[in-house]
Amino acid sequence: MKTFEELAAGTMFSVSKGVPTLHKYDTSLTLIGEGRSAVVFRINSTDLALKVFLPGQERTAIEEASIYRLLAGNSYFPTLHGSGENYIVIDYIEGITIFNCLQYGLRISEEHIKVIDEALEQARTCGLNPSDVHLKNILITNSGDIKLIDVARFLQTKNCSQWDDIKWAYHTFYRRNVFPKRIPALILNLISLVYKRPTIQKWLTNSQKYA
Q: Is the separation of the CB atoms in 58 and 64 below 8 Å?
A: no
The neighbour count for residue 101, using CB atoms within 10 Å, is 19
Which is nearest to 91 in space by CA: 106, 107, 108, 74? 74
Q: Report the DSSP pairing between strands 19-24 and 95-97.
A: unpaired
Pairing of strands 12-16, 19-24: antiparallel
- The pLDDT, as a whole number, for residue 1 is 80
Q: Which residues contact 51 (CB under 8 A, 6 or more apart)?
A: 38, 39, 40, 41, 61, 64, 87, 88, 89, 90
CA distance 98 to 143: 15
Distance between CA atoms of 151 and 147, rounded to whole angstroms? 11
Residue 145 falls in the annotated catalytic set: no
Which one of the listed residues 26, 132, 145, 164 is annotated catalytic? 132
CB within 8 A of 25, min separation 6: which ones?
A: 7, 10, 11, 12, 31, 39, 41, 52
Strands 29-34 and 19-24: unpaired
State the Cα–Cα distance between residues 90 and 78, nearest whole angstrom: 6
Chain center to CA of 43: 19
pLDDT tens, the chain, 211 aa long: 899 999 999 999 887 777 788 999 999 999 999 888 899 999 999 999 999 999 999 999 999 999 999 999 999 999 999 999 999 999 999 999 999 999 999 999 999 999 999 999 999 999 999 999 999 999 999 999 999 999 999 999 988 999 999 999 999 999 999 999 999 999 999 998 888 777 766 666 666 754 5
The β-bridge partners of 40 are: 33, 51
The Cα-based distances of 13 to 8, 73, 202 in angstroms read 11, 33, 38
Residue 188 near residue 103, CB atoms below 8 Å: yes
